[in-house]
Amino acid sequence: MDYKKKLEELRNKIDQIDEQILRLLNERAKLAQEVGHIKKEHNLPIYVPSREKAIFERLEKLNAELGEIFPTDAVKPVFREIISACRSTEESIKVAYLGPRATFTHQAAIKHFGQAVEHIPVSTIKDVFEEIVKEKADFGVVPVENTIEGIVNYTLDLLVDYPLKITGEVILEISLHLMGINPDVREIVRVYSHRHALAECRDWLRENLPNAQLIEVESTAKAAEMAKDDYESAAVASEAAADIYGLHIIERKIDRHIHNFTRFLVIGTQIPNRTGNDKTTFIFSVKNEVGALYKTLEPLYRHGINMTKIESRPSKKEAWDYIFFTDIEGHIQDERVEKALKELEEISPFFKILGSYPKAH
């Protein structure tokens, strides 16, 4: 058979499979709608992260058994969008994030909820919290720490002050690219970006664009927007920003750090159910006496709970008084976590659970 005929035959088969997939997607959405009706009748939350996580894990395992001709790495992104779209037929979820569009926080929001939610860009981290408290958003996404820049203290402070819960976490690899409408790097005289992004790309910029003026703007997304109409300008930003603003990537990954990751928190009003692979975050203070921190944390040790992080911040109530942000493995619905935290609460002058949520992938 000549190759053209063979190609046509194969493409016809692909068309048939695509149609089958689409029919099945419609059947799936119909079932999700029925689930949605039952959940509304019984006042249950529409978004159920534990169920979504179980679906991803089951399908990734099945895909490995099926021989992985379809890459296992693609299973979660594909099903994330399928679930996101099915969920949107039950109810539209509103997600506030630190904008504008195409920031890394926007990407984190998409990675967590999929595209089919109402994304609400706001201009400060505090506004993300405010949108939820004012019931304009159901969830929010904020950055909390970066492997190079460290902790975003402001996010921690807001978690103490607001009556909200951490409902999830997202870890994103940060890759910074040089982009513009002019693909010729020699003609670039201005480079826009966020202060941190310029710092991370300093070596590359010094070597390759020693005479360019480096201009700080509020976000990498804003930088891309600034570069989109100017032939002599470039931006240091994400791939998503290049897509949204129609920029050409002049040079990929110009940041010098190989391990550049940012962790984002998803915040909401309710603690999601346990998935079996969860994390709990809480804050506490200690009495001003010898061995206080040791004694306060002792219940964790006694109940065999792994503490994965502890971070101190000034309490801002008294000078030299601190609160401790702590992450442990497990969910508050796990018996030993519940017991240990109860004991810890009894010892601490101040104690608050900030959330129990599925660990990021």
Ligand X SMILES: O=C(O)C(=O)C[C@]1(C(=O)O)C=C[C@@H](O)C=C1
DSSP-based three-state secondary structure for 81: helix
Instruction: Between 36 and 349, name the residue whose CB sits nearer to ligand X.
Output: 36
Instruction: Between 138 and 255, name the residue whose CB sits nearer to ligand X.
Output: 138
Q: How far is the CB of 292 from ligand X (least distance, A)?
A: 42
Instruction: Between 113 and 325, name the residue whose CB sits nearer to ligand X.
Output: 113
Q: How far is the CB of 34 from ligand X (least distance, A)?
A: 9
Which H or E run includes 178?
A: strand 177-180
Instruction: Between 16 and 115, name the residue whose CB sits nearer to ligand X.
Output: 115
Cα separation, 187 vs 55, in Å, equals: 50
Which residues are CB-neighbours of 293 under 8 A, at least 6 positions away?
286, 324
Give the sheet arrangement for strand 278-285, strand by strand: 307-314, 322-329, 278-285, 351-358
Question: Which residue is at the shortest CB distance from ligand X?
Answer: 86
Instruction: Between 47 and 192, name the residue whose CB sits nearer to ligand X.
Output: 47
Q: How far is the CB of 269 from ligand X (least distance, A)?
A: 16
Q: How far is the CB of 88 from ligand X (least distance, A)?
A: 9
Sign of CA dihedral 306, 309, 315, 320: positive
Determine the length of the chain.
361
Instruction: Between 90 and 255, name the residue whose CB sits nearer to ligand X.
Output: 90
Instruction: Between 35 and 215, name the residue whose CB sits nearer to ligand X.
Output: 35
Nearest CA among 140, 91, 89, 134 for reference residue 119:
140
Instruction: Between 83 and 223, name the residue whose CB sits nearer to ligand X.
Output: 83
Q: Nearest 5°: CA angle at 216, between 214 and 217?
A: 140
Q: How far is the CB of 81 from ligand X (least distance, A)?
A: 11
Q: How far is the CB of 62 from ligand X (least distance, A)?
A: 15
User: How crowded is the C-beta side of 6, counted as CA atoms within 13 Å?
Assistant: 3
Instruction: Between 35 and 332, name the residue whose CB sits nearer to ligand X.
Output: 35
Q: How far is the CB of 112 from ligand X (least distance, A)?
A: 11
Nearest CA among 139, 205, 146 for reference residue 173:
146
Sign of CA dihedral 322, 325, 331, 337: negative
Q: How far is the CB of 47 from ligand X (least distance, A)?
A: 5
Per CB under 6 A, residues contacting ligand X are 32, 35-36, 47-48, 51-52, 55, 83, 86-87, 90
CA separation, residue 283 to residues 24, 89, 161, 294 (Å): 46, 37, 12, 15
User: Which residue type does 254 have?
Assistant: I
What does DSSP say about strands 165-173 and 213-216: parallel, antiparallel, or unpaired? unpaired
Q: How far is the CB of 86 from ligand X (least distance, A)?
A: 4
Instruction: Between 90 and 131, name the residue whose CB sits nearer to ligand X.
Output: 90
Q: How far is the CB of 33 from ligand X (least distance, A)?
A: 9
Q: How many CB atoms lie within 10 A of CB 109?
A: 28
Locate 148 and state its tokens.
């190079």
Nearest CA among 35, 50, 115 for reference residue 272:
50
CB 131 within 8 A of CB 137: yes
DSSP-based three-state secondary structure for 49: helix
